[in-house]
Structures are given as structure tokens and as C-alpha cells.
Amino acid sequence: MGRYFIQVGGKVKGPMEVEVIVGLRWFGPDSLLCPEAASTKSRHNWLRAQTFPEIRAFLRGPGTPGTDAPGQVSG
């Protein structure tokens, strides 16, 4: 998995592994992240956490819209 910088209170922290970021108590789907390989100076590189598939997977849990509980099918 990749590493990301995260904006916290207007300050840049990181880079951090995905597992660390998703464990932060103030982290959420709208937290702004920038991939480690991108420039943190360009505002175009900062995207909401839910934009990144590898992070979105951590945001979904049982009963979350867009996911099915085991043995259930949407529809």
C-alpha cells in the first residue's frame, strides 16, 4: 500500500502508511490526502480520502452503503 501526507488543521503531516492514517481518531472520508509521490505544494494533488480506492476499502464496514453483509445481495 502507498503512503500519504495528510492535512491536519492546515498543517501537513507524514508521509504515513494507510494503516496508520485510518487509525487516527480525527481521520474521516473527507480528510485531505496527498500521495507521497506527488508534490504537496500543488493543491490539485490534495484529494478527499474517499477518493483513493485503497483507503476507501477501510472506510467501508458492515452495513455501510455500497457494501453487503455476508450472505446478502443488494437489490
Within a domain: 69: no
Q: Which amino acid does the sequence have at 1?
A: M
Q: Give the residue numbers spanning the domain of 39.
A: 3-59
Within a domain: 71: no
pTM over 0.85: no
Write the pLDDT tens digit of every residue in 5-63.
Answer: 999 988 999 999 999 999 999 999 999 999 999 999 999 999 999 999 999 988 875 43
Number of domains within the chain? 1
- The values of phi and psi at residue 35, to 5°, are -60, 145
Within a domain: 37: yes
Within a domain: 51: yes
What confidence tier does 67 reach under pLDDT thresholds 50, 70, 90? very low
